[in-house]
Chain A
Amino acid sequence: MKKRPDLPPRMRGRPARRLTSAAVRGAFELPVCQSCRNVQYPVGEICSACLSSELRWESVPRTGTVLSATVVRHCTEAYFQKQRPILMGSVRLDAGPVAIVRMSADCAKPGERVFISNQLDRSGEAILCASAKSESAVENILRDPNRDIAGKTVLVTGASGGIGRELVSAFRAAGAATIFAAARGKPETASAKYPEIVPVSLDLTDLRSIEAAAAEIGPRVDILVNNAGVTAIAGFLEGKDIEGARSEMEVNYFGTLSMIRAFAPHLKAKRQGVIVNMLSMLAHVCVPSMGSYCASKAAAMSLTQGMRAELLPWGVRVCGVFPTTVDTATSADSPPPKLSPASVAREVIRMIRDGEEDAYPGNIARDLIAALREDPKTVEREMALALPEPE
């Protein structure tokens, strides 16, 4: 693995990488012995107390007590040299073990009770952080500039749709300096009311339209939200041709790909930036009645993973959002329950601010992803049953 002077160290063992997988969704999980309940840290695969090999990663209490603290003023990594002085400490976790942590200035006293958060660093790896503040505010202890929204320039595609409109207003409320609200034609937005909202004409199926937008506003954009999407709502065998499936792929996959290819050079040049791809829970599992849509979102999810790896060395964070059915015009015929577009937009803002990488808005999405992690086949069969009986 090539070492980047402008990023923190990325090297981790395989068990420790599981900590990163929890940090991606803001969870704090550690290996817990299924025989004696001993919690392992440093993480490992064998229980240090009873030697059982039956460990399970479980949520553990996010609290602890400071044992000791130091200010690192001399270090051997270029990335940290620029961050000095660095507050580092050791904390006795209420879960049992002692953890080395990064600390906020308000909790660097021995005996202090602290909240632990499992945060992603600029290399996208997990770092345990201690803060005296409550759990609800995930303090930016690692000083990641990508977590700030205030003063940033945002581009939201599909801005005239249900989620898009809410995203524009949520970014405005979060203090973004400029929000480019992009849609086919000139989107009707609140732009007349708010000067920071700037309408942009953009056709995701037209590469020239994308390139023109990137040439004009690309250097200004800090946060790119690929929200635009279409659905034909059809099974793979329905319809007389595959034009619906093709248009889904054209917008949901190729449109997103072209947007990132057009705007990424500008973000790379700044060595920071956030790209949010509006995916779907259905990227993970196929609902056969809209199979081709699911396939396009699965393609976009794979794109998200690959882009994340390609852009991480440049300090650009690539995020995925995985909602279940959202209450928009597109889903008018879908049965409830439905997420409100505003709640999805709020979750996007929270994900960026908390420095997470994947967002699952709402209880149903969270239940489903947990079920998919546990046993994807069960979920696949449940979705298969949602297909109406053939006539």
Chain B
Amino acid sequence: MQLPRDYSGVVVCTPVSTARTRTTRHTIPWFIGQTLAELVRRSGLSKHDITGLAIASYGLAPDNAASLAEYFKLEPTFVLDIPYGGASGVLAMSRAARAIQAGDTEVVACMAADIAPTGYGIYSNFSSATRDHVYPYGAGGANATFALITANYIRTYDAPPEAFGAICVAQRANGIQHALSMFRSPLSMEEYLSARMISDPLRLYDCVPRCCAGEGFLVMTEDRARSLGLSFVRIAGVVERNSGFGDDPIMSRVGIARDRERLYGQANLEPKDIDFVQAYDDYPVIVMMQLEALGFCGEGEGHRLAREKTLTVDGDLPLNTSGGMLSLGQPGAAGGFLGLNEAIRQLTREGMGALVEDASAGAVSCYGTVNYDRGICSNAAILTAGAVQ
């Protein structure tokens, strides 16, 4: 098996998450500017040391990474816009790392932000196929699309509602320990099961709350991070699969399910070596599919795994240890950064919530970009502990 070149010499650090608000009168650049200022402040860099901008946002258009560079008076040698929502975190990191390895740029600020109004109205024109063939069928948004996928998973694998509830209940338990959680009380299985249906079989607590926020992190050389005295993590492996399994009539697995060996092969690790998983949690069924793809169970067994394992921070399979979007909300495309930022925090021991004991390796799986009837971008990274200051 041909493995990609490693990511040696490049590290990831300085996870930044702004405070959550349900609504805002501010614009997206306000959230990105806050994120950038915090990245600069926490890293000890001057803003002029930022030589690359990788930006993920649904609502930023018609502005872009280059226009933000002008706004913030930066002169980057590398700009990248990532219109891939939930898949954007790992994409930003890996693209930035490769550009740094190639010598095109030195320090890349990967940032994402959205505000709820744009995040809410985007579904009417999310893609040509959505606009033409999905939205006019009831404007159910992502809930309706993933209801179809969830219903099919339930039918195919005989998955009970309690399995989906197990993920939501555990993530809430993780989330209430996190400084930025939108919820402060635990969720019981009874509450989960008795909540109203949004789009059958999806219940209220299967769906993430919208919010406005910015997320960001820095990618730079290990030498630079060390000279700045920063805690950092290493990229042990990355895989990416877009529009994978397109012939499946209805989505039942994520694209990277065919790239598991390439992922673990790069890291020279196995699923049992992974101390926590951050999986994009737009809907519990997608979390199950990511756990299957990452090799924690077989195809169609994710629902069993969700009930057999303890998914809380102190459990035997810590999952979405920040509480994920189910707790911190989805700030549009910045939701695609949550898992990565939480993984950095866990491995650098700078958590905003509870920490997994002795964590040295974590998996981050991203998923997103609904084009027609499913998300088509799937990617994952294994991160390992680097320096802890």
**Which residues in A have some Cβ–Cβ distance to B below 8 Å?**
8-9, 11-13, 15-16, 19, 41-43, 67-77, 79-80, 83, 86, 88-90, 92, 98-102, 110, 121, 123, 125, 127
11 further A-B contacts with Cβ under 8 Å, apart from A69-B148, A70-B151, A98-B249, are: A8-B136, A16-B132, A70-B199, A72-B138, A76-B120, A76-B139, A86-B137, A90-B250, A98-B250, A100-B137, A110-B152
- Please, how many angstroms separate the alpha-carbon atoms of A67 and B156 in the complex? 11
A86-B140 contact given A70-B199, A99-B133, A100-B134, CB 8 Å threshold: yes
Write out the residue numbers on chain B whose beta carbons fall within 8 Å of the beta carbon of A110: 151-152, 155
Residue from the list A8, A43, A73 in contact with B199, Cβ < 8 A: A73
Residue from A8, A11, A43, A90 within 8 A of B373 (CB atoms)? A90
CB-CB < 8 A to A89: which residues of B? 148
Q: Knowing A68-B149, A72-B199, A90-B148 touch, does A13 contact B141 (C-beta < 8 A)?
A: no
User: Is the beta-carbon distance between B125 and A80 smaller than 8 angstroms?
Assistant: no
Taking the nearest CB of chain A, how far is it from the CB of B373, in angstroms?
6
Instruction: Assess whether A9 is in contact with B250, with CB atoms less than 8 Å apart.
Output: no
The residues of A that contact B149 with a CB separation of less than 8 Å are: 68
| Chain B stretch 101-156: residues in CB contact (< 8 A) with chain A | 120-121, 123-125, 128-129, 131-141, 143-144, 147-149, 151-152, 155
Which residue from B134, B139, B249, B373 sits with its C-beta under 8 Å from A77? B139
Residue in B closest to A69 when the chains form the complex, CB atoms: B151
For B360-389 the 0/1 string (1 means CB < 8 A from A) is 000000000000110000000000000000
Q: B45 within 8 Å of A by Cβ?
A: no
Contact between B128 and A75, CB atoms less than 8 A apart: no
CA A43 to CA B131, docked complex, whole Å: 12
B198 within 8 A of A: yes
Q: Are A127 and B136 in contact (CB under 8 A)?
A: yes
Q: How many residues of B contact A (CB 8 A)?
A: 37
Once bound together, how far apart are the Cα atoms of A387 and B201, in whole Å? 67
**Residue pair A13, B132 in contact (C-beta under 8 Å):** yes
Cβ 8 A contact of A102, one of B129, B138, B200:
B138
Q: Is B19 an interface residue, CB under 8 A from the partner?
A: no
Q: Is B3 an interface residue (CB 8 A)?
A: no
By a CB distance below 8 angstroms, the chain B residues around A75 are: 138-141, 144
Q: Whose C-beta in chain A lies nearest to the C-beta of B146?
A: A70
User: Nearest Cβ in chain A — how far from B194, in angstroms?
Assistant: 15
* B residues near A123, Cβ cutoff 8 Å: 136
Closest to A89 in B: B148
Report, nearest first, the 9 A-B pairs whose CB atoms are least far apart: A16-B132, A70-B147, A72-B140, A77-B139, A42-B129, A86-B138, A68-B148, A75-B139, A68-B152
Partner of B125, one of A11, A41, A83, A98: A11
Residues of B with C-beta under 8 A to A83: 138
A67/B152 contact (C-beta < 8 A), A11-B124, A11-B131, A73-B198 known: yes
Q: Nearest chain A CB to B10's CB is how many angstroms away?
A: 37
Residues in A with CB closer than 8 Å to B179 are: none
Q: Which residues of A contact B138 (CB under 8 A)?
A: 72, 75, 80, 83, 86, 88, 102
A322 CB → nearest B CB, Å: 28
Give the interface centre of B132, B149, B152, B202 by most chain A CB atoms within 10 Å: B132
Instruction: For B228, list chain A residues within 8 Å (CB).
Output: none
On whether the beta carbons of B121 and A76 are closer than 8 Å, the reply is: yes
Kindly report which residue of chain A lies nearest to residue B130, judged by CB atoms: A42
Q: Which residues of B contact A19 (CB under 8 A)?
A: 132
Q: Which residues of A contact B155 (CB under 8 A)?
A: 68, 110
A100-B131 contact, Cβ under 8 Å, with A72-B144, A74-B143: no
Kindly provide the distance from the CB of B376 to the nearest chain A CB, expressed in whole angstroms: 12
CA distance A123 to B139 in the complex (A): 14
B196: nearest residue on chain A (CB-CB)? Answer: A73
28 cross-chain CB contacts under 8 A: A9-B136, A9-B139, A11-B131, A12-B132, A42-B129, A43-B132, A67-B152, A68-B148, A68-B149, A68-B155, A69-B151, A70-B140, A70-B144, A73-B196, A75-B144, A76-B139, A80-B138, A80-B140, A88-B137, A88-B138, A88-B144, A88-B148, A92-B249, A98-B373, A100-B134, A100-B137, A100-B148, A110-B155
Interface residues of B in 67-121 (CB under 8 A from A): 120-121
Instruction: Tell me, rounded to whole Å, the shortest Cβ–Cβ distance linking A105 to chain B.
Output: 13
Q: Which residue of chain B lies nearest to A86 when distances are taken between CB atoms in the complex?
A: B138
Q: What chain A residues lie within 8 Å of B250 (beta carbons)?
A: 67-68, 90, 98
Query: How long is the Cα–Cα vector from A388 to B132 in the complex, in angstroms?
Result: 50
In angstroms, Cα B137 to Cα A71, docked, is 12
Q: Give the docked Cα–Cα distance between A149 and B155 (Å).
A: 41
Q: Is the CB of A9 within 8 A of B135?
A: yes
Give the CA-CA distance A19 to B136 in the complex, in Å: 13
Among B123, B134, B140, B249, the residue within 8 A (CB) of A74 is B140
- Closest-by-CB residue of B relative to A129 is B137
Q: Given A42-B128, A67-B249, A88-B144, decide whether A125 and B136 contact each other with a Cβ distance below 8 A.
A: yes
Question: Residue among A15, A68, A92 with the most chain B CB within 10 A?
Answer: A68
Cβ-defined contact, A127 with B137, below 8 A: yes
Nearest residue in B to A123 (C-beta to C-beta)?
B136
Cα distance A15–B132 when bound, in Å?
9
Chain B residues near A41: list those with CB within 8 A. 133
Measured between C-beta atoms, what is the minimum distance from A102 to chain B in Å? 6
Report the minimum CB–CB distance from B36 to chain A (whole Å): 31
Q: How far, in angstroms, from A16 to B125 measured CA to CA in the complex?
A: 14
CB <8 Å contact, B249 and A70:
no
Chain B residues with Cβ below 8 Å from A12 are 131-132, 136
Kindly state the separation between the CA atoms of A67 and B148 in the bound complex, as whole angstroms.
Answer: 8
**Chain B residue at minimal CB-CB distance from A80:** B139
CA A88 to CA B138, docked complex, whole Å: 8
List the A side residues contacting B201 at CB < 8 Å. Answer: 70
A18 to chain B, nearest CB (A): 10
Given A67-B250, A70-B151, A42:B141 Cβ within 8 A: no
